[in-house]
Chain A
Amino acid sequence: MKTSNQPERTDGRATAPRFVMSHLTYNYRRHGEPVINDVCFTLSSGHIYALLGENGVGKTTLLHLMSGLLRPQQGSALCEGERTDRRRTETLGSIYLLEEEPEVPQMAIGDYGRLTGAFYPHYSDAIFADCLAAFSLEPQQRLHHLSMGQRKKALIAFALATQVRWLLMDEPTNGLDIPGKEVFKQLMARHVSDDMAVVISTHLVDDIEMLTDHVLVMKGSRLIVDCPTDVITQRLRFEERHMGSAMADAIYSQPTPAGCLVVCRNTTGEETPLHLALFFNAVITQPHLMDDATQPDGDANGNDAAKS
């Protein structure tokens, strides 16, 4: 069961800005299975979304559809009521897509910020400078002279400095060193305002586990999970158990050297820490995991499928 964010409506005031993906379908070829098939979800500002999926499932394609770089064969991506593939200036100014392998022009970082930031109405030099300093980069360094990780850092800094309402990031932490990943988390916490929504597509779930408050999981060209993290942790419990421990209540388990990681129903009603990688593996194996977690006792145990 997918729990979508509903717009907040209070006392008849206008709803929060929304980015609505409605029955998105896209295929790179004329025939065959579409890469994105009838995907529906809604983004609201003030949230950080984790977009997870196996290789080749269509995460990058989905981000391109959302940013208007691709036109869906069916359905629409509506950014604040406007189709993104119409590529209106206002829409482009409210979306920033940080690609996995972005184009890096031959210029200094500072020049890049100054020249490209001019197109974004809320661009902040101060945030850009703060992010560069946190990543130990100098504005006079030339982008094409940097390593891949350093370029990523510079472009992450720019992405945060644009202060766009809808920030889409494709594998932002890929290539970052260990300190860089920590700095990334700090900068996200510091500079992502309540007016912004961030979608992070990544395989490195450990890097965003503490940041994200909403999970989107894709499998087989469809969206199988669209759920806030607090709902996940209210319904499911993630534990590490030693060898020989009771496993009767485990919905899903994953062996570790010390025992196993277990997903079971949360019967206490208290939120527990989310283990995003475990949740992802469980939901990929059992796409109806969240539905089973709300069923009466018995169904969840019957669906137990321990991974060997």
Chain B
Amino acid sequence: MFSSSFSIRRCISLARYDLAVRKRYYLLSFLGIYALLTIVGMGCATGYTPDGPDDTVIINVAQWKILYSSSAIMILLFISLLASCFDRMGKQKGRSAFLMLPARRSEKYVTAIVERFVLTLAMLLAAYVLADLTRAVAFAGTTYYSGLTIDLLAKPYLWECFFFDTANGETFNMLLGTAIKMELYVFFIMMGTLFPRFAPIWAWGCFVALIILLGVLLGTMMSTLSVHVLAFMTDWTVMRWILMVQALVAIVVGLYASWRSFCRVQLVRRKLF
């Protein structure tokens, strides 16, 4: 087993170790996600009282409102959990124990991100199904919509939220949507690596600041630029290529910054916070 090259077996050992160490954390996270999605689902269902099983209009509206709201919550939770994939590096004791494990830096880095990515997705989807069942049972016999929405999982909507974006089925738009979402995820992974101790809070703060800054910048540009420049910028054909390139660049830069930061905090005293 002891080879110096990248070892999948060691990655699996790292993943098993991390799961065992943070079993309680993941269980509590799952329960928290389940509780939140149940509350959101129930909240969305109230106010929608179908006249009967044939009242497809109200039923469709209720289903999609539950799904949209739950998806928004799930994406926020997904990003939060991704941003804290290196939270063990935030405290000295935990960092020492993690750093002294005989494994390559790249193995520790890749395992932490992939494990968190996969586990978070699994937790979110499982929690959504459970929350939907809970709502259906709780509202059974009441006037509120008590049907299940989990059959909507069979449709690509949730996957579109997290990854793809069919956008009328155009391949380029699908790739663009995926790239922009991956850019967002990499941004939060990067923030989580730079600031492991307060990862989600820092990441959210920076994200909000970035949105505000972009909004101010865009508003200023729109009001000051010439007609020709505006026409160029609002040409969707050009804009989507610009967005694609910037997303790819941001993904590469973000992953590189995250990796470099992870390498820097390998030393116990070399930390940002």
Residues of A within 8 A of B (CB): 28, 64, 67, 69-71, 85, 87-90, 92-93, 95-97, 99, 101-103, 105-107, 111, 115-116, 118-121
Contacts and interface: CB of A to CB of B under 8 A. Distances in A.
A93 B100 CA distance: 9
Chain A interface main SS type:
loop
15 contacts: A69-B96, A69-B268, A89-B10, A89-B103, A93-B2, A93-B102, A96-B100, A97-B96, A103-B93, A106-B23, A115-B13, A118-B17, A119-B10, A119-B103, A120-B102
B59 to A, nearest CB: 45
B20 A115 contact: yes
User: Shortest 7 CB-CB distances between A and B: which pairs?
Assistant: A93-B102, A92-B102, A103-B93, A121-B2, A105-B21, A103-B97, A69-B268
Given A93-B102, A119-B13, 14 more contacts: A67-B100, A69-B96, A69-B99, A85-B267, A87-B266, A88-B4, A96-B100, A103-B97, A105-B21, A107-B20, A115-B13, A116-B17, A118-B17, A121-B2
Contact of A118 (B13, B94, B105): B13
Contacts of A103: 93-94, 96-97
Contacts of A70: 267-269
A87 B2 contact: no
A111 B102 contact: no
Contact of B102 (A28, A99, A119): A119
Contact of B268 (A64, A96, A116): A64
Contacts of B155: none
A154 to B, nearest CB: 14
B93 A89 contact: no
A107 B18 CA distance: 11
Contacts of B260: none
B8 interface: no
A158 B4 CA distance: 23
Contact of B4 (A64, A89, A102, A116): A89
Nearest to B105: A87
Nearest to A108: B20
A87 B104 CA distance: 8
Interface string B87-124: 00000011011011111110000000000000000000
B202 to A, nearest CB: 23
B24 interface: yes
Contacts of B103: 89, 92, 119
B2 A90 contact: yes
Nearest to A116: B17
Contacts of B102: 89-90, 92-93, 119-120
A102 B269 contact: no
Nearest to B1: A121
Interface in B29-77: none
A28 B92 CA distance: 15
Nearest to A67: B100
Given A89-B2, A99-B96, A121-B2, A107 B21 contact: yes
Nearest to B3: A89
Nearest to A93: B102
B93 A102 contact: yes
Contacts of A120: 102
Contacts of A102: 93, 97
A92 B20 contact: no
Contact of A69 (B10, B21, B267): B267
Contacts of B100: 67, 69, 92, 95-97
A2 B87 CA distance: 44
A73 B99 CA distance: 20
Contacts of A67: 100
Given A70-B268, A85-B267, A119-B10, A106 B21 contact: yes
A28 B269 CA distance: 8
B210 to A, nearest CB: 33
Contacts of A92: 100-103
A304 B229 CA distance: 90
Contacts of B23: 106-107
Residue from B10, B16, B21, B104 with most neighbouring chain A CB atoms (10 Å): B21
Interface in B101-152: 101-105
Residue from A67, A93, A119 with most neighbouring chain B CB atoms (10 Å): A119
A121 B1 CA distance: 7
A192 to B, nearest CB: 20
Residue from B96, B101, B102 with most neighbouring chain A CB atoms (10 Å): B102
Contacts of A105: 20-21
Contacts of A118: 1, 13, 17
Contacts of B94: 103
A90 B96 CA distance: 17
Given A89-B102, A99-B96, A106-B24, A115 B17 contact: yes
B111 to A, nearest CB: 12
Nearest to B266: A87
